[in-house]
Amino acid sequence: MIISAYQTHIFILIFIYIILAVSLNLALGYTGLLNLGHVAFFGIGAYTSALLAIEGLPYIAAVIIAGLFASVFGYLLVKATDKLKGDYMAMATLGFSFVVYSLLLNLRDITRGAMGIPGIPKPSILGLTIRTNDQYLIFVMAVCAISVFIMYRMVNSPFGKLLEANRDNAVNLRVLGKNTFALKYKAMMTSAFFAGVSGSLYAHYITFIDPTSFYIAELILILTIVIVGGLASIKGSIVATIVIIYVPEMLKMLELPASVLGPVRQALYAMILIAILMIRPRGIFGKVDLE
């Protein structure tokens, strides 16, 4: 390969986070669901896929079940929060993130709690095992391309226009005969499915997961990507993922101590977010206001 091992690692993370960010934008930007529970879908997908693969299930089955399991939680989350709007919806979905984190931490018989799950096997597809990071990069790139293409088609279809209409004015949509609850749960289930898939990709790449990988810091990172890129813009989410994941990595060139690097990286996320909100309140390519 023409890129270094470190760059390969960064690119793999970028492709995983592109799926995660675009799927959040589907719910948040396109459908208007102020969902702060997306990181929980990421975690559910990662744990489901890891546990099934360790039990010997083929990777393809594990990743699909991981996505479907996350989407079931997506449905339940919409069902539970159907009557909530704005800040109340945000608080309820944030609570969902806490609950899932807590379950991952405390269901020790299944998740091994804080000890995490080590030894997650690398994916094996049709008898071919992905052993190197270069191979994993090609694999994750292909999954990312398929996932983003499906979501792109979805938001540009007549169904996608209904999602945008729901975000802009749900009451008007209902008097036009559209079942907005069904629209919301279909959007959230799709969003959760792809978050689950990205969780699976993450787990099988890192080969070790623990609950801290799916908590507030991760949620802030994904939200920052979507807001910086702009709501209701797939292109924005892709560009922002590259910027937000890649730029802080350049800090490593400064050879800062590890104890300083982490906080500086978080501060950089915050600065990028504040700068974007001041200069372009709708994000780089955003079509709708944050409100």
CB-wise, 32 or 196, nearer to another protein?
32
Pick 112 or 178: Cβ nearer another protein: 178
Q: Are 20 and 226 within 8 A, CB to CB?
A: no
Query: Would you say 51 or 231 has its CB closer to another protein?
Result: 231
Read off the tokens for 25: 């934008």
What number of other Cβ atoms are within 10 A of residue 221's Cβ?
20
> Closest distance between another protein and the C-beta of residue 149, in Å?
10
Residue closer to another protein by CB (options 3, 168) is 168
Which residues make beta-bridge pairs with 209?
117
Q: Tell me how far, at minimum, the Cβ of 131 lies from another protein, in Å.
A: 34
Residue 253 is classified by DSSP as G
124 — phi, psi (to 5°)?
A: -125, 120
Report the nearest approach of another protein to the CB of residue 201 (Å). 22
| CA nearest neighbour of 32 among 85, 69, 81 | 85
Report in angstroms how near the CB of residue 45 gets to another protein at its nearest. 20
Rounded Cα gap, residues 250 and 221, in angstroms:
17
Residues that bind another protein in the complex, under the rule CB under 8 A: 150, 153-154, 157-159, 161-162, 164-165, 167-169, 171-180, 182-183, 186, 190, 232, 287-288
**Distance of closest approach, residue 156 Cβ to another protein, in angstroms:** 8
Looking at the Cβ atoms of 154 and 220, the one nearer to another protein is 154
DSSP string, 192-205: HHHHHHHHHHHHHH
